[in-house]
């Protein structure tokens, strides 16, 4: 199933800022980029700029890679042009050069998926700005040895520096397509080992050796110390209690009543919206839509399950399809404006809504630490740690922190770098709710809830060379392993909370850093 784009969304096909005059009076050009869904272009009718109509006979289409096609030759009878999501087509128009200023642009063409389309926008011809040196790239193969070497030479000449280590790597650079643009080398980050950690999860069961990529002294040692403590007490119990990834569009109306009525309509039509969203992916499943109203705005928070992928791009595409159907079918009030992301999903940002409603995996790690083991290994009592936790809660409350624990971001970041996660997701994933109490037996119960742990074992950087090897070390490669990975991460986080919390309580924190973490 492919969705029908509304006129409002059709404008997004045009790449604003792409309108320009070709050199040597050779005509005018602009670009379109498929930001909707996979399709084939089955024909071109014409382009109109201002009052000037350019027929298909006077248009060529640059398909990339040096391939040019007359627009008049593109048709549904074996001459269609593949237009997957993300592909750009450049129109070369045989028409006089345009004057500087704003010009209305209209394009008529046909597709197999969407039918006949009419895109109408405005774009501008601007004067030539000061030209800066451009990073070398190859249109044919930007991950070839020649293209990479050209960028290395460019960087050395530009910075007047010779690179000895940055240029050396051990994998085929073509694997980076879709992960890194303008590739020229690698930043080698040390990977230390902690563990093995005994995890008693529903998905992760057994002993796991933990790879931690970091340049911070004492970090690996600290986590290893916490892991040893947990192992002596039977390991860590981990549970995934929530799983959802969001995209949050906003619809703008003339007044608050329009927004209110729209929110009710969305609620009543969820069964029609769901198949539109799920048509874009075999994996993404729409769980529910939360509606939040403010002023004259209706914020919709689409919540999806995304399999083993983190899923931000997946849910963006699915939500786009759903919203296109909504824009086409909602008739009660005029939608004044629409934006696919309203900042309400809080992508790459910590937020209270993620703490309350979950983003990614919501995971709890918990353990009962025996009194004698805690005193012998960490030189603190359960009462000391529990009381320290109460004092720290006040400090976290006053400061407005999103975490009342010690340093969950340390372990999460080190594991993210090692395993090819999107490291910027530490912004959300670092949120934590730490709780401890002294049991009737005099032991320490301690647990941490990570409400928005965004992890993947498929897609993104997880398939790259060293990152995939670290996932293999954890046994988290293959279908159905993402919750296993989430449980392991949560267990490591709890180990770090115990270790650092005890170090601060026993005043070993500074001395440990002086002994193990100095590099000056």
Domains of the chain (ranges; CATH) run: 7-125 (2.60.40), 145-175 (no CATH), 191-243+361-517 (3.90.770.10), 249-339 (3.30.70.420)
**The one catalytic residue among 216, 261, 290, 469:** 216
Report the pLDDT value the prediction gives residue 510, as an integer from 0 to 100. 46
Report the pLDDT value the prediction gives residue 203, as an integer from 0 to 100. 97
Report the pLDDT value the prediction gives residue 63, as an integer from 0 to 100. 86
**The one catalytic residue among 308, 347, 422, 487:** 422
Q: How far is 473 from 415, CA to CA, in rounded Å? A: 12
Q: Respond yes or no: is residue 174 known to be catalytic.
A: no
Q: Respond yes or no: is residue 216 known to be catalytic.
A: yes
Sheet holding 20-21, edge to edge: 20-21, 28-33, 88-93, 59-64, 67-70
DSSP letter string, 81-119: EEE-TT-EEEEEE-SPPPPSEEEEEEEEEEETTTEEEEE
- Beta carbons of 231 and 200 less than 8 angstroms apart: no
**What averages of pLDDT result for each successive group of 10 residues across the chain (520 residues)?**
63 86 89 83 90 91 85 83 86 91 91 84 77 85 93 93 92 92 94 96 97 94 95 97 95 96 96 92 93 96 93 90 90 92 91 92 97 92 91 92 92 96 94 95 96 94 94 94 97 95 72 53
- Beta carbons of 326 and 287 less than 8 angstroms apart: no
Question: What backbone phi and psi angles, to 5 degrees, belong to 382?
Answer: -55, -40
Report the pLDDT value the prediction gives residue 68, as an integer from 0 to 100. 87
Report the pLDDT value the prediction gives residue 13, as an integer from 0 to 100. 84
* Residue 171 token pair: 């994998």
Q: Respond yes or no: is residue 422 known to be catalytic.
A: yes
């Amino acid at each position: 199933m492919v969705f029908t784009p509304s006129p409002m969304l059709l404008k997004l096909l045009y790449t604003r800022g792409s309108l320009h005059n070709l050199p040597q009076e050779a005509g005018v050009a602009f670009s379109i980029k498929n930001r909707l869904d996979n399709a084939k272009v089955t024909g071109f009718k014409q382009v109109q700029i201002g009052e000037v109509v350019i027929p298909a006979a006077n248009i060529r289409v640059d398909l990339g890679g040096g391939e040019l096609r007359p627009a008049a030759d593109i048709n549904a009878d074996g001459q269609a042009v593949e237009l997957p999501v993300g592909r750009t087509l450049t129109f070369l128009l045989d028409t006089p050069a345009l004057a500087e200023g704003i010009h209305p642009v209209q394009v008529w063409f046909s597709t197999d998926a969407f039918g006949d389309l009419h895109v109408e926008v405005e774009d501008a011809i601007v004067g030539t700005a000061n030209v800066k040196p451009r990073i070398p790239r190859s249109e044919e193969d930007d991950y070839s040895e020649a293209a990479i070497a050209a960028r290395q030479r460019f960087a050395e000449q530009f910075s007047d520096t010779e690179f000895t280590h940055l240029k050396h790597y051990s994998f085929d650079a073509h694997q980076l397509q879709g992960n890194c643009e303008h590739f020229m080398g690698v930043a080698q980050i040390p990977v230390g080992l902690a563990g093995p950690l005994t995890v008693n999860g529903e998905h992760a069961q057994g002993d796991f050796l933990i790879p931690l990529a970091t340049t911070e002294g004492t970090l690996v040692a600290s986590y290893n110390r916490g892991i040893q403590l947990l192992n002596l007490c039977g390991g860590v119990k981990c549970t995934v209690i929530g799983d959802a990834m969001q995209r949050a569009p906003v619809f703008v109306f003339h007044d608050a009543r329009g927004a209110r009525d729209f929110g009710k309509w969305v609620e009543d039509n969820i069964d029609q919206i769901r198949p539109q969203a799920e048509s874009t992916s075999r994996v993404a499943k729409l769980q529910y839509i939360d509606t939040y109203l403010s002023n004259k705005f209706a914020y919709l928070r689409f919540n999806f399950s995304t399999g083993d992928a983190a899923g931000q791009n997946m849910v963006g595409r699915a939500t786009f399809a759903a919203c296109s159907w909504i824009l086409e079918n909602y008739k009660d009030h005029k939608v004044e404006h629409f934006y696919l992301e309203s900042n309400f999903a809080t992508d790459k940002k910590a937020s209270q809504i993620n703490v309350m409603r979950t983003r990614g995996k919501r995971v709890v790690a918990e353990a009962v630490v025996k009194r004698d083991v805690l005193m012998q290994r960490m030189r603190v009592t359960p009462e000391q740690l529990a009381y320290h936790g109460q004092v720290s809660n006040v400090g976290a409350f006053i400061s407005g922190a999103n975490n009342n624990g010690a340093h969950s971001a340390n372990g999460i970041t080190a594991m993210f770098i090692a395993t090819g996660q999107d490291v910027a997701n530490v912004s959300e994933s670092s949120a934590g709710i730490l709780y401890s109490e002294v049991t009737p037996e005099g032991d320490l119960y301690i647990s941490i809830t990570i409400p928005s742990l965004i992890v993947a074992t498929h897609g993104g950087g997880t398939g790259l060379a060293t990152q995939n090897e670290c996932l293999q070390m954890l046994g988290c490669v293959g279908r159905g392993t993402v919750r296993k990975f989430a449980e392991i991460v949560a267990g490591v986080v709890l180990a770090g909370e115990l270790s650092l919390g005890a170090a601060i309580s026993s005043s070993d924190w500074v001395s440990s850093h002086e002994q193990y973490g100095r590099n000056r």
